[in-house]
Structure 1
Amino acid sequence: MSPTPADPEAWEAYLAEGNAKQARKRVAADALLRDPAGRVLLVNPTYKPGWDLPGGMVELNEPPEVAVRRELREELGRDIDVLGLLVVDWVPPHGPWDDQIAFIFDGGTLDGDEDLQPHDEELSEARFFPLEKARELVGERLRRRMDAAMRALQRNCPLYLRDGVVGW
């Protein structure tokens, strides 16, 4: 027989045991930042090949929208307001990685001539690119997610993806 809330200590232990058995997800939170010309900000990580959107991994018990602001502060030295959610993408297991939930938030528009130098060793550069060039520089999975984020901006409605695909 399972404990009940009538025995708070046993109930808490029961819930903790259930929690320990639940799946854990890796969570990423990125930002789509543009300049007045509509170019997209990409960052060049030092720890993996290819360009990426600014952002990163969510820490334990951290809300994704807080994580993206923290990552932008760490990576670019900037406090950027998150204007809304654009994309939630469930990414299936791949390579050595378990599945993941990836968020893209709207970071709004920044002046193109702002000094966007990387502020930590994880990045070698940060630059605005025309959308088509940005699409060429990122990997296929991020390209699909970025395309969906641009559609979400146009529609003013967030999109749910399953491995980068809308309407699964």
Structure 2
Amino acid sequence: MRPTPADPAAWQAHLAEGNARQARKRVVADVLLRDVAGHVLLVNPTYKPGWDLPGGMAEANEPPEEAATRELREELGLSLTLCGLLVVDWVAPHGPWDDQIAFVFDGGTMDVRAAEMSLCDGELSEAAFVSQEAARGLLTDRLRNRFDAAMTSLRAGRAAYLHDGNPTW
């Protein structure tokens, strides 16, 4: 016999068991941040090859937008209010990694130079504002597609949904 809400303790245990068996997704929360000249901020992580948008992995039970602002604060000493959502990208399993959900939020425009930022926690070797074309050359294919979608979303005023960096509609 299955528990019912009429027995709250048994019902909560039943729900917890189901929750424990459901899939867990890794969540990435990045930020598209621009300077007053229209350049975009990229960071060079020490723990993987290539450049990336600033941001990082969400912690357990952390909302993606809070993960994005926390990562900017921890890694670059930046405190900012996000301006909206630009991209949601479902990333297929690759290498040793299961699938993940990647968010890109609009960080707006800041009157700050990369030299004025602090690389705070050792996870980044560099941070630089670069032209959009230079950014496209520094990012991997998967990230370049997500970056392009974020730039398109910024101009269009609506978020994009991607599968592995490719628009779904």
Q: Quick check: TM above 0.5?
A: yes
Specify the alignment match of 1:146 in structure 2.
Answer: 147
SS at match of 1:96: coil
Aligned structure 1 segments of 4 or more residues deviating by more than 2 angstroms: none
CA contact (8 A) 1:116 1:127 kept: no
Instruction: Report the Cα distance in structure 2 between the residues aligned to 1:87 and 1:138, rounded to whole angstroms.
Output: 16
CA contact (8 A) 2:113 2:129 kept: no
- TM-score, normalised by the number of residues in structure 2: 0.97
Specify the alignment match of 2:89 in structure 1.
Answer: 89
CA contact (8 A) 2:30 2:68 kept: yes
Q: Among the aligned pairs, what percent are the same residue? A: 67
User: Which amino acid is 1:48 matched to?
Assistant: K
Quote the offset at 1:38 in angstroms. Answer: 1.0
SS at match of 2:119: coil
- TM-score, normalised by the number of residues in structure 1: 0.97
Specify the alignment match of 2:38 in structure 1.
Answer: 38
In the alignment of these two chains, the number of paired residues is 168
Write the deviation string for residues 2-59 of structure 1: whole angstroms up to 9, x where unpaired. 1100000100000000000100000000000011111110001011110010000000
CA contact (8 A) 2:149 2:160 kept: yes
Specify the alignment match of 2:167 in structure 1.
Answer: 166
CA contact (8 A) 1:117 1:125 kept: no
Moved more, 109-118 or 84-93: 109-118
> Which residues of 2 match residues 43-62 of structure 1 at below 5 A?
43-62=43-62
Moved more, 112-121 or 89-98: 112-121
Specify the alignment match of 2:2 in structure 1.
Answer: 2
SS at match of 1:72: helix
Instruction: Report the Cα distance in structure 2 between the residues aligned to 1:77 and 1:38, rounded to whole angstroms.
Output: 21
User: Which amino acid is 1:155 matched to?
Assistant: A
> Which residues of 2 match residues 120-139 of structure 1 at below 5 A?
120-139=121-140
Structure 1 spans left out of the alignment, 5+ residues: none
Structure 2 spans left out of the alignment, 5+ residues: none
SS at match of 1:18: helix
Quote the offset at 1:113 in angstroms. Answer: 3.0
User: Which amino acid is 1:82 matched to?
Assistant: L
Instruction: Report the Cα distance in structure 1 between the residues aligned to 2:73 and 2:113, rounded to whole angstroms.
Output: 18
Specify the alignment match of 1:108 in structure 2.
Answer: 108
Write the deviation string for residues 134-156 of structure 1: whole angstroms up to 9, x where unpaired. 11101110000000000100011
